[in-house]
Structure 1
Amino acid sequence: MRRISRKQAWGTAACTAAALLAAPAVALADTEDLSAQEISDKAEKELLDAKSVHLELEQKGTDLDDEEPATMELTLDQDDNCVGSLTMADDGGSLELIKQGEKVWMKPDAAFWKAQLPGGQGEAAADIIGDRYLYGTTDDALLKDMAGVCDLKEIQQEVQDESGDESTLKKGERTKVDGTDVIPVTGRDDGKTTTMYVAAEGTPYLVRATEKGQGTDSTLKLSEYDKPVPKDTPSEEDSVNVSQLQGVQDGGPAGNL
Protein backbone atom coordinates (compact mmCIF):
# COMPACT_ATOMS: atom_id res chain seq x y z
CA MET A 1 0.00 0.00 0.00
CA ARG A 2 1.21 3.49 -0.80
CA ARG A 3 1.88 5.39 2.38
CA ILE A 4 0.38 8.81 2.91
CA SER A 5 3.03 10.85 4.65
CA ARG A 6 2.31 12.96 7.68
CA LYS A 7 3.76 15.95 5.85
CA GLN A 8 1.23 15.53 3.05
CA ALA A 9 -1.68 14.92 5.39
CA TRP A 10 -1.22 17.63 8.00
CA GLY A 11 1.61 19.75 6.67
CA THR A 12 -0.64 22.19 4.85
CA ALA A 13 -2.78 22.64 7.94
CA ALA A 14 0.26 23.49 10.02
CA CYS A 15 1.90 25.68 7.39
CA THR A 16 -1.29 27.62 6.76
CA ALA A 17 -1.42 28.54 10.42
CA ALA A 18 2.34 29.00 10.70
CA ALA A 19 2.74 31.30 7.72
CA LEU A 20 1.72 34.40 9.68
CA LEU A 21 2.81 33.38 13.16
CA ALA A 22 6.07 34.68 14.54
CA ALA A 23 7.66 35.43 17.93
CA PRO A 24 6.33 34.89 21.49
CA ALA A 25 3.42 37.07 22.54
CA VAL A 26 3.54 40.14 24.70
CA ALA A 27 0.97 41.11 27.33
CA LEU A 28 -0.90 44.07 25.86
CA ALA A 29 -4.41 45.53 25.56
CA ASP A 30 -7.49 44.34 23.64
CA THR A 31 -6.81 42.58 20.35
CA GLU A 32 -8.37 45.34 18.26
CA ASP A 33 -5.91 47.88 19.68
CA LEU A 34 -2.81 45.83 18.80
CA SER A 35 -0.60 46.00 15.75
CA ALA A 36 -0.72 43.27 13.11
CA GLN A 37 2.47 41.69 14.46
CA GLU A 38 1.23 41.79 18.06
CA ILE A 39 -2.01 40.08 17.04
CA SER A 40 0.00 37.42 15.22
CA ASP A 41 2.20 36.93 18.28
CA LYS A 42 -0.76 36.45 20.59
CA ALA A 43 -2.52 34.01 18.26
CA GLU A 44 0.66 31.95 17.97
CA LYS A 45 1.04 31.72 21.74
CA GLU A 46 -2.52 30.44 22.17
CA LEU A 47 -2.03 27.83 19.45
CA LEU A 48 1.27 26.64 20.90
CA ASP A 49 -0.21 26.45 24.41
CA ALA A 50 -3.35 24.56 23.36
CA LYS A 51 -3.75 21.11 24.94
CA SER A 52 -6.31 20.18 22.29
CA VAL A 53 -8.05 21.77 19.31
CA HIS A 54 -10.59 21.06 16.57
CA LEU A 55 -9.29 21.56 13.01
CA GLU A 56 -11.21 21.79 9.74
CA LEU A 57 -9.07 21.94 6.61
CA GLU A 58 -10.26 22.41 3.04
CA GLN A 59 -7.90 22.45 0.05
CA LYS A 60 -8.69 23.22 -3.58
CA GLY A 61 -6.49 23.41 -6.63
CA THR A 62 -4.76 21.68 -9.49
CA ASP A 63 -1.75 20.59 -7.44
CA LEU A 64 -3.66 18.16 -5.21
CA ASP A 65 -3.52 14.41 -5.82
CA ASP A 66 -5.10 11.36 -4.17
CA GLU A 67 -2.35 11.23 -1.52
CA GLU A 68 -3.45 14.57 -0.07
CA PRO A 69 -6.64 15.45 1.80
CA ALA A 70 -9.12 17.72 0.07
CA THR A 71 -10.87 18.03 3.42
CA MET A 72 -9.89 17.06 6.94
CA GLU A 73 -11.83 17.45 10.18
CA LEU A 74 -10.08 16.39 13.38
CA THR A 75 -10.27 16.89 17.12
CA LEU A 76 -6.83 16.11 18.54
CA ASP A 77 -4.74 16.64 21.65
CA GLN A 78 -1.15 16.51 22.90
CA ASP A 79 -1.64 13.00 24.35
CA ASP A 80 -1.95 11.36 20.90
CA ASN A 81 -5.75 11.11 21.01
CA CYS A 82 -7.77 12.00 17.95
CA VAL A 83 -11.13 11.55 16.23
CA GLY A 84 -12.21 12.77 12.82
CA SER A 85 -12.36 12.14 9.09
CA LEU A 86 -10.45 12.82 5.88
CA THR A 87 -11.54 13.01 2.25
CA MET A 88 -8.70 12.52 -0.19
CA ALA A 89 -8.35 14.62 -3.34
CA ASP A 90 -8.72 13.34 -6.90
CA ASP A 91 -11.42 10.75 -6.02
CA GLY A 92 -9.05 9.06 -3.57
CA GLY A 93 -11.88 8.15 -1.20
CA SER A 94 -12.48 9.03 2.43
CA LEU A 95 -11.99 7.53 5.86
CA GLU A 96 -12.94 7.90 9.50
CA LEU A 97 -10.12 7.86 12.03
CA ILE A 98 -9.96 7.29 15.80
CA LYS A 99 -6.77 7.18 17.85
CA GLN A 100 -6.34 6.63 21.57
CA GLY A 101 -2.66 6.61 22.47
CA GLU A 102 -1.08 3.84 20.37
CA LYS A 103 -4.42 2.25 19.43
CA VAL A 104 -5.88 3.15 16.03
CA TRP A 105 -9.23 2.52 14.33
CA MET A 106 -9.60 3.44 10.65
CA LYS A 107 -12.69 3.00 8.45
CA PRO A 108 -11.97 3.78 4.78
CA ASP A 109 -14.62 3.65 2.07
CA ALA A 110 -14.34 1.50 -1.06
CA ALA A 111 -12.90 4.35 -3.14
CA PHE A 112 -10.01 4.75 -0.69
CA TRP A 113 -9.12 1.05 -0.83
CA LYS A 114 -9.23 1.04 -4.63
CA ALA A 115 -7.00 4.12 -4.80
CA GLN A 116 -4.46 2.68 -2.36
CA LEU A 117 -4.22 -1.00 -3.34
CA PRO A 118 -3.38 -1.97 -6.95
CA GLY A 119 -5.41 -4.21 -9.21
CA GLY A 120 -8.19 -6.13 -7.55
CA GLN A 121 -6.62 -5.91 -4.10
CA GLY A 122 -8.42 -2.67 -3.25
CA GLU A 123 -11.80 -4.09 -4.20
CA ALA A 124 -11.06 -7.26 -2.22
CA ALA A 125 -10.10 -5.26 0.86
CA ALA A 126 -13.26 -3.16 0.58
CA ASP A 127 -15.40 -6.31 0.32
CA ILE A 128 -13.69 -7.95 3.30
CA ILE A 129 -13.69 -4.96 5.66
CA GLY A 130 -17.11 -3.72 4.63
CA ASP A 131 -18.54 -1.14 7.02
CA ARG A 132 -16.18 -2.07 9.85
CA TYR A 133 -13.08 -0.39 11.27
CA LEU A 134 -9.58 -1.63 10.65
CA TYR A 135 -8.03 -1.89 14.11
CA GLY A 136 -4.44 -2.09 15.33
CA THR A 137 -1.65 -0.04 16.81
CA THR A 138 0.97 2.37 15.54
CA ASP A 139 3.30 -0.64 15.21
CA ASP A 140 1.53 -1.24 11.88
CA ALA A 141 2.99 0.91 9.08
CA LEU A 142 -0.36 1.69 7.42
CA LEU A 143 -2.09 2.73 10.64
CA LYS A 144 0.96 4.65 11.85
CA ASP A 145 1.14 6.70 8.67
CA MET A 146 -2.54 7.61 8.70
CA ALA A 147 -2.59 8.27 12.44
CA GLY A 148 0.24 10.76 11.94
CA VAL A 149 -2.41 13.42 11.27
CA CYS A 150 -3.36 13.12 14.95
CA ASP A 151 -0.12 14.54 16.31
CA LEU A 152 -0.92 17.98 17.72
CA LYS A 153 2.59 18.35 19.10
CA GLU A 154 4.08 18.00 15.62
CA ILE A 155 1.67 20.59 14.23
CA GLN A 156 2.69 22.94 17.03
CA GLN A 157 6.35 22.22 16.34
CA GLU A 158 5.77 23.07 12.67
CA VAL A 159 4.28 26.40 13.74
CA GLN A 160 7.21 27.06 16.06
CA ASP A 161 9.74 26.17 13.35
CA GLU A 162 8.11 28.73 11.05
CA SER A 163 8.39 31.44 13.70
CA GLY A 164 10.70 34.30 12.92
CA ASP A 165 10.16 34.25 9.13
CA GLU A 166 10.21 37.75 7.71
CA SER A 167 6.80 38.92 6.54
CA THR A 168 5.04 42.25 6.22
CA LEU A 169 1.72 41.97 8.00
CA LYS A 170 -1.32 44.17 7.46
CA LYS A 171 -4.23 44.47 9.88
CA GLY A 172 -7.73 44.67 8.43
CA GLU A 173 -11.04 45.95 9.72
CA ARG A 174 -13.00 44.09 12.37
CA THR A 175 -15.39 41.53 10.84
CA LYS A 176 -17.16 38.26 11.67
CA VAL A 177 -16.19 34.63 10.97
CA ASP A 178 -18.70 31.95 11.87
CA GLY A 179 -20.41 34.35 14.25
CA THR A 180 -17.17 35.39 16.01
CA ASP A 181 -15.84 38.95 15.88
CA VAL A 182 -12.32 38.78 14.44
CA ILE A 183 -9.45 40.95 13.29
CA PRO A 184 -7.90 39.83 9.97
CA VAL A 185 -4.13 39.97 9.54
CA THR A 186 -2.72 39.41 6.04
CA GLY A 187 0.78 38.71 4.77
CA ARG A 188 2.50 37.60 1.54
CA ASP A 189 5.40 35.16 1.19
CA ASP A 190 6.76 33.17 -1.78
CA GLY A 191 3.84 34.19 -3.99
CA LYS A 192 1.22 33.13 -1.44
CA THR A 193 -1.22 35.35 0.43
CA THR A 194 -2.20 34.17 3.91
CA THR A 195 -4.87 35.78 6.04
CA MET A 196 -5.26 34.98 9.70
CA TYR A 197 -8.52 35.77 11.52
CA VAL A 198 -8.01 36.26 15.27
CA ALA A 199 -10.76 36.61 17.86
CA ALA A 200 -11.28 40.30 18.62
CA GLU A 201 -12.65 39.78 22.12
CA GLY A 202 -11.59 37.55 24.98
CA THR A 203 -8.74 35.11 24.35
CA PRO A 204 -7.06 35.95 21.01
CA TYR A 205 -7.55 32.53 19.44
CA LEU A 206 -6.80 31.93 15.79
CA VAL A 207 -10.26 31.21 14.35
CA ARG A 208 -9.46 30.79 10.67
CA ALA A 209 -6.48 30.98 8.31
CA THR A 210 -6.58 31.06 4.53
CA GLU A 211 -3.74 30.62 2.06
CA LYS A 212 -4.04 31.39 -1.65
CA GLY A 213 -1.63 31.07 -4.52
CA GLN A 214 0.65 28.66 -6.42
CA GLY A 215 -1.94 26.08 -7.44
CA THR A 216 -3.63 25.34 -4.13
CA ASP A 217 -5.98 27.41 -1.97
CA SER A 218 -6.40 26.29 1.65
CA THR A 219 -8.79 27.22 4.43
CA LEU A 220 -8.13 26.14 8.00
CA LYS A 221 -10.70 26.63 10.77
CA LEU A 222 -9.81 26.19 14.44
CA SER A 223 -12.19 25.88 17.39
CA GLU A 224 -12.80 24.09 20.70
CA TYR A 225 -9.41 24.94 22.14
CA ASP A 226 -8.60 22.81 25.23
CA LYS A 227 -11.81 20.76 25.04
CA PRO A 228 -11.32 16.99 25.58
CA VAL A 229 -11.18 14.60 22.63
CA PRO A 230 -14.18 12.19 22.68
CA LYS A 231 -13.15 8.82 24.12
CA ASP A 232 -15.70 6.54 22.41
CA THR A 233 -14.11 3.71 20.39
CA PRO A 234 -15.66 1.06 18.08
CA SER A 235 -16.74 -2.28 19.54
CA GLU A 236 -14.95 -5.55 18.75
CA GLU A 237 -17.89 -6.55 16.54
CA ASP A 238 -17.37 -3.44 14.43
CA SER A 239 -13.60 -3.91 14.11
CA VAL A 240 -11.21 -6.08 12.08
CA ASN A 241 -7.61 -6.57 13.23
CA VAL A 242 -5.16 -5.14 10.72
CA SER A 243 -3.15 -8.37 10.73
CA GLN A 244 -6.04 -10.09 8.97
CA LEU A 245 -5.61 -7.79 5.97
CA GLN A 246 -2.03 -8.90 5.36
CA GLY A 247 -2.99 -11.50 2.77
CA VAL A 248 -4.75 -8.93 0.63
CA GLN A 249 -1.83 -6.47 0.86
CA ASP A 250 0.58 -9.23 -0.19
CA GLY A 251 -1.65 -10.19 -3.11
CA GLY A 252 -2.60 -13.55 -1.60
CA PRO A 253 -5.80 -14.87 0.01
CA ALA A 254 -7.21 -12.89 2.93
CA GLY A 255 -7.52 -14.29 6.39
CA ASN A 256 -10.79 -15.53 7.81
CA LEU A 257 -12.60 -12.28 8.57
Structure 2
Amino acid sequence: MAANRKLLAAAVACAAAIVGLTGCLGGDEEKDPFEGMSADKIAKKAADTSKGAGSFKVTGEGKQDGKPLHVDFSVAKSGDCKGKMDGGAEDTAELLVSGDAQYMKGDEAFWKDAMGGSGSGGQASRLEGKWVKSPNAEGKSVCDADAMFQSKDLKKLKREKDSEVDGKKAAVLTKNKSGKKTTFYVSAEGKPYFLKVVTTGKEDPGTMNFSDYGKPVVVKAPAPGDVMDMQELMKS
Protein backbone atom coordinates (compact mmCIF):
# COMPACT_ATOMS: atom_id res chain seq x y z
CA MET A 1 0.00 0.00 0.00
CA ALA A 2 2.72 2.46 0.99
CA ALA A 3 4.66 1.72 -2.18
CA ASN A 4 1.63 2.44 -4.34
CA ARG A 5 1.03 5.78 -2.65
CA LYS A 6 4.64 6.73 -3.22
CA LEU A 7 4.34 5.94 -6.92
CA LEU A 8 1.13 7.90 -7.25
CA ALA A 9 2.67 10.85 -5.47
CA ALA A 10 5.74 10.75 -7.73
CA ALA A 11 3.80 12.41 -10.53
CA VAL A 12 3.38 15.54 -8.44
CA ALA A 13 6.37 15.23 -6.15
CA CYS A 14 8.54 17.57 -8.18
CA ALA A 15 5.95 20.33 -8.15
CA ALA A 16 4.93 19.84 -4.56
CA ALA A 17 8.50 19.87 -3.35
CA ILE A 18 9.74 22.90 -5.22
CA VAL A 19 6.69 25.08 -4.61
CA GLY A 20 6.14 23.95 -1.04
CA LEU A 21 9.66 24.76 0.09
CA THR A 22 6.06 24.33 -3.19
CA GLY A 23 10.56 44.29 -11.90
CA CYS A 24 9.79 43.87 -15.43
CA LEU A 25 11.49 43.84 -18.77
CA GLY A 26 11.33 47.01 -20.78
CA GLY A 27 12.04 50.65 -20.17
CA ASP A 28 12.60 52.31 -16.83
CA GLU A 29 9.25 54.01 -17.14
CA GLU A 30 7.43 50.76 -16.51
CA LYS A 31 6.23 50.47 -12.93
CA ASP A 32 7.39 47.54 -10.86
CA PRO A 33 4.23 45.89 -9.41
CA PHE A 34 6.35 44.54 -6.53
CA GLU A 35 8.03 47.83 -5.68
CA GLY A 36 8.91 48.01 -1.99
CA MET A 37 8.29 44.31 -1.40
CA SER A 38 10.95 41.89 -0.21
CA ALA A 39 11.56 38.67 -2.14
CA ASP A 40 9.89 36.68 0.65
CA LYS A 41 6.78 38.85 0.50
CA ILE A 42 6.60 38.50 -3.29
CA ALA A 43 6.81 34.72 -2.92
CA LYS A 44 4.08 34.66 -0.27
CA LYS A 45 1.84 36.81 -2.45
CA ALA A 46 2.44 34.43 -5.37
CA ALA A 47 1.71 31.38 -3.20
CA ASP A 48 -1.53 32.88 -1.88
CA THR A 49 -2.64 34.01 -5.34
CA SER A 50 -1.78 30.72 -7.04
CA LYS A 51 -3.56 28.71 -4.37
CA GLY A 52 -6.51 31.08 -4.49
CA ALA A 53 -7.02 30.41 -8.20
CA GLY A 54 -8.26 26.96 -7.23
CA SER A 55 -7.46 25.18 -10.48
CA PHE A 56 -4.29 25.11 -12.56
CA LYS A 57 -2.08 22.99 -14.82
CA VAL A 58 1.46 21.75 -14.24
CA THR A 59 3.83 20.42 -16.89
CA GLY A 60 7.52 19.73 -16.68
CA GLU A 61 10.37 17.34 -16.33
CA GLY A 62 12.88 16.42 -13.72
CA LYS A 63 14.17 13.46 -11.77
CA GLN A 64 12.63 11.32 -9.05
CA ASP A 65 15.06 9.10 -7.15
CA GLY A 66 17.60 9.72 -9.90
CA LYS A 67 15.30 8.65 -12.73
CA PRO A 68 13.91 10.97 -15.43
CA LEU A 69 10.29 11.96 -14.95
CA HIS A 70 7.95 13.93 -17.22
CA VAL A 71 4.64 15.13 -15.82
CA ASP A 72 1.52 16.74 -17.24
CA PHE A 73 -1.48 17.12 -14.97
CA SER A 74 -4.38 19.39 -14.12
CA VAL A 75 -5.74 20.19 -10.67
CA ALA A 76 -9.39 21.06 -10.03
CA LYS A 77 -10.60 23.52 -7.43
CA SER A 78 -11.99 20.60 -5.43
CA GLY A 79 -8.52 19.09 -5.10
CA ASP A 80 -9.30 16.35 -7.60
CA CYS A 81 -6.74 15.98 -10.38
CA LYS A 82 -5.80 14.01 -13.46
CA GLY A 83 -2.66 13.65 -15.50
CA LYS A 84 0.17 11.56 -16.87
CA MET A 85 3.72 10.69 -15.87
CA ASP A 86 6.39 9.27 -18.13
CA GLY A 87 9.55 7.67 -16.79
CA GLY A 88 10.87 6.63 -20.20
CA ALA A 89 11.43 3.13 -21.62
CA GLU A 90 7.65 2.60 -21.88
CA ASP A 91 7.43 3.27 -18.14
CA THR A 92 4.31 5.43 -18.27
CA ALA A 93 1.25 5.88 -16.12
CA GLU A 94 -1.88 7.96 -15.70
CA LEU A 95 -3.12 9.24 -12.37
CA LEU A 96 -6.52 10.39 -11.26
CA VAL A 97 -7.74 11.60 -7.88
CA SER A 98 -11.47 11.80 -7.33
CA GLY A 99 -13.09 12.36 -3.97
CA ASP A 100 -11.57 10.14 -1.31
CA ALA A 101 -9.87 7.77 -3.76
CA GLN A 102 -6.72 7.74 -5.88
CA TYR A 103 -6.39 5.79 -9.13
CA MET A 104 -3.30 4.80 -11.09
CA LYS A 105 -3.17 3.13 -14.51
CA GLY A 106 0.20 2.09 -15.90
CA ASP A 107 1.78 -0.06 -18.55
CA GLU A 108 3.47 -3.37 -17.71
CA ALA A 109 6.91 -1.74 -17.40
CA PHE A 110 5.55 0.73 -14.87
CA TRP A 111 3.97 -1.95 -12.70
CA LYS A 112 7.08 -4.14 -12.84
CA ASP A 113 9.12 -1.22 -11.58
CA ALA A 114 6.48 -0.46 -8.96
CA MET A 115 6.58 -4.01 -7.66
CA GLY A 116 10.33 -4.29 -7.53
CA GLY A 117 11.46 -5.86 -10.77
CA SER A 118 11.06 -8.74 -13.18
CA GLY A 119 9.90 -11.20 -10.53
CA SER A 120 6.50 -9.53 -10.50
CA GLY A 121 5.82 -9.93 -14.22
CA GLY A 122 2.61 -11.93 -13.78
CA GLN A 123 1.00 -9.42 -11.46
CA ALA A 124 2.20 -6.49 -13.60
CA SER A 125 0.58 -8.04 -16.67
CA ARG A 126 -2.64 -8.46 -14.71
CA LEU A 127 -2.69 -4.77 -13.78
CA GLU A 128 -1.80 -3.38 -17.20
CA GLY A 129 -4.59 -1.22 -18.58
CA LYS A 130 -6.56 -1.26 -15.31
CA TRP A 131 -7.11 1.57 -12.86
CA VAL A 132 -5.75 0.55 -9.45
CA LYS A 133 -7.68 2.20 -6.66
CA SER A 134 -6.37 3.14 -3.20
CA PRO A 135 -7.62 5.56 -0.52
CA ASN A 136 -6.14 9.04 -0.23
CA ALA A 137 -3.23 9.03 2.18
CA GLU A 138 -4.45 10.43 5.50
CA GLY A 139 -7.63 11.52 3.75
CA LYS A 140 -5.82 14.18 1.69
CA SER A 141 -5.36 14.39 -2.06
CA VAL A 142 -1.80 14.36 -3.39
CA CYS A 143 -2.94 17.33 -5.49
CA ASP A 144 -4.05 19.43 -2.54
CA ALA A 145 -3.30 23.05 -3.48
CA ASP A 146 -2.91 24.02 0.18
CA ALA A 147 0.02 21.62 0.46
CA MET A 148 1.43 22.40 -2.97
CA PHE A 149 1.55 26.16 -2.50
CA GLN A 150 2.72 26.34 1.08
CA SER A 151 4.28 29.72 1.78
CA LYS A 152 5.71 28.94 5.21
CA ASP A 153 8.93 27.57 3.69
CA LEU A 154 9.37 30.37 1.16
CA LYS A 155 11.93 32.15 3.28
CA LYS A 156 15.34 33.76 2.78
CA LEU A 157 14.81 34.35 -0.92
CA LYS A 158 16.74 36.80 -3.07
CA ARG A 159 15.32 38.82 -5.94
CA GLU A 160 17.39 38.64 -9.11
CA LYS A 161 17.21 40.52 -12.41
CA ASP A 162 13.71 40.32 -13.86
CA SER A 163 13.03 38.07 -16.84
CA GLU A 164 10.08 36.70 -18.79
CA VAL A 165 8.29 33.38 -19.21
CA ASP A 166 6.47 32.67 -22.47
CA GLY A 167 6.35 36.38 -23.22
CA LYS A 168 5.10 37.37 -19.77
CA LYS A 169 7.13 39.68 -17.57
CA ALA A 170 8.30 37.93 -14.43
CA ALA A 171 10.05 38.67 -11.18
CA VAL A 172 12.83 36.17 -10.47
CA LEU A 173 13.38 34.88 -6.93
CA THR A 174 16.09 32.44 -5.90
CA LYS A 175 16.84 30.26 -2.91
CA ASN A 176 20.08 28.38 -2.23
CA LYS A 177 20.09 25.64 0.35
CA SER A 178 22.39 22.65 0.85
CA GLY A 179 23.80 22.78 -2.69
CA LYS A 180 20.35 23.10 -4.25
CA LYS A 181 19.22 26.23 -6.06
CA THR A 182 15.54 26.93 -6.69
CA THR A 183 14.47 29.75 -9.00
CA PHE A 184 10.88 31.00 -8.87
CA TYR A 185 9.35 33.04 -11.70
CA VAL A 186 6.37 35.15 -10.60
CA SER A 187 4.15 36.92 -13.09
CA ALA A 188 4.59 40.70 -13.07
CA GLU A 189 1.62 41.09 -15.41
CA GLY A 190 -1.90 40.67 -14.13
CA LYS A 191 -2.20 38.45 -11.08
CA PRO A 192 1.10 37.39 -9.47
CA TYR A 193 0.92 33.67 -10.18
CA PHE A 194 3.88 31.31 -10.17
CA LEU A 195 4.79 30.76 -13.82
CA LYS A 196 7.80 28.49 -13.54
CA VAL A 197 10.02 26.90 -10.92
CA VAL A 198 13.47 25.58 -11.77
CA THR A 199 15.56 23.46 -9.41
CA THR A 200 19.24 22.75 -10.03
CA GLY A 201 21.66 20.63 -8.06
CA LYS A 202 22.78 17.05 -7.75
CA GLU A 203 19.53 15.76 -6.28
CA ASP A 204 16.30 15.72 -8.31
CA PRO A 205 16.78 18.75 -10.61
CA GLY A 206 13.77 19.79 -12.64
CA THR A 207 11.62 22.44 -14.29
CA MET A 208 7.92 22.88 -13.64
CA ASN A 209 5.66 25.21 -15.64
CA PHE A 210 2.35 26.45 -14.22
CA SER A 211 -0.52 27.69 -16.37
CA ASP A 212 -4.31 27.75 -16.87
CA TYR A 213 -5.00 29.24 -13.45
CA GLY A 214 -8.72 29.40 -12.72
CA LYS A 215 -9.75 27.38 -15.78
CA PRO A 216 -12.32 24.66 -14.96
CA VAL A 217 -10.98 21.12 -14.65
CA VAL A 218 -13.41 18.20 -14.77
CA VAL A 219 -12.30 14.92 -13.19
CA LYS A 220 -14.46 11.80 -13.29
CA ALA A 221 -13.76 8.53 -11.51
CA PRO A 222 -13.13 5.53 -13.81
CA ALA A 223 -15.95 3.12 -14.58
CA PRO A 224 -16.20 0.40 -11.89
CA GLY A 225 -15.48 -2.32 -14.45
CA ASP A 226 -12.09 -0.76 -15.18
CA VAL A 227 -11.01 -0.58 -11.54
CA MET A 228 -9.04 -2.98 -9.33
CA ASP A 229 -8.93 -2.26 -5.60
CA MET A 230 -5.44 -2.15 -4.12
CA GLN A 231 -6.66 -3.31 -0.72
CA GLU A 232 -8.15 -6.41 -2.33
CA LEU A 233 -4.98 -6.99 -4.35
CA MET A 234 -2.87 -6.85 -1.22
CA LYS A 235 -4.95 -9.62 0.31
CA SER A 236 -4.51 -11.95 -2.67
The two structures have a TM-score, normalised by structure 1, of: 0.70
Q: Residue 51 of structure 2 contacts residue 145 of structure 2 at CA under 8 Å; is this kept in 1?
A: no
- State the Cα deviation string for residues 90-122 of structure 1 (Å, max 9, x = none): x69221011210233321111111112256663
Counterpart of 1:24? none
Task: Report the CA distance between 1:209 and its aligned residue.
Answer: 0.9
Residue of structure 2 equivalent to 1:128: 126
Q: Using a 3 Å threshold, how does the CA distance of structure 1 residues 19 and 117 change in structure 2: closer, same or farther? A: closer
Separation in structure 1 between the aligned mates of residue 4 and residue 134 of structure 2, nearest angstrom: 16
Distance in structure 1 (CA, Å) of the matches to 2:219 and 2:232: 26
In the TM superposition, what is the alpha-carbon distance from 1:86 to its structure 2 partner?
2.0
- The 2-side partners of 1:240 and 1:115 are apart by 20
Q: Does residue 31 of structure 2 align to residue 44 of structure 1?
A: no
Distance 1:88 1:180 in 2: 30
Q: Displacement, 1:203?
A: 0.6
Which whole-Å CA distance do the structure 1 matches of 2:173 and 2:85 have between them?
A: 28
Query: What is the RMSD of the two structures over their aligned residues, measured on CA atoms?
Result: 3.4
- 1:178 equivalent to 2:166? Answer yes
Q: Which runs of 4+ in 1 moved over 6 A?
A: none
**CA separation of 1:220/1:110 partners in 2, compared to 1, >3 Å: closer, same or farther?**
same
CA distance in 2, matches of 1:102, 1:7: 15
Report the counterpart of residue 117 of structure 1 in structure 2.
115
Q: Does 1:94 align with 2:89?
A: no
Does residue 195 of the first structure (1) align with residue 172 of the second (2)?
no
The SS at the match of 2:124 is helix
Q: Is the 8 A contact 1:114 1:123 kept in 2?
A: yes
The 3-state SS of whatever aligns with 2:217 is coil
> Percent identity at matched positions?
25
- TM-score (normalizing by structure 2): 0.75
Return the alpha-carbon distance in structure 1 between the equivalents of residues 16 and 230 of structure 2: 32
Contact 1:77 1:152 in 2 (8 A): no
Q: Please tell me whether residue 59 in structure 1 is matched to residue 56 in structure 2.
A: no
Deviation at 1:225, TM superposition (A): 1.7
Instruction: Give 1:70 deviation, angstroms.
Output: 1.6
- Consecutive unaligned residues of structure 2, counting only runs of 5 or more, are 23-30
For structure 1, list consecutive stretches of 5 or more residues without a partner in the other structure.
21-28, 253-257
Contact 1:35 1:171 in 2 (8 A): no
Q: Which position in structure 1 is the counterpart of 2:196?
A: 208
Separation in structure 1 between the aligned mates of residue 43 and residue 179 of structure 2, nearest angstrom: 20
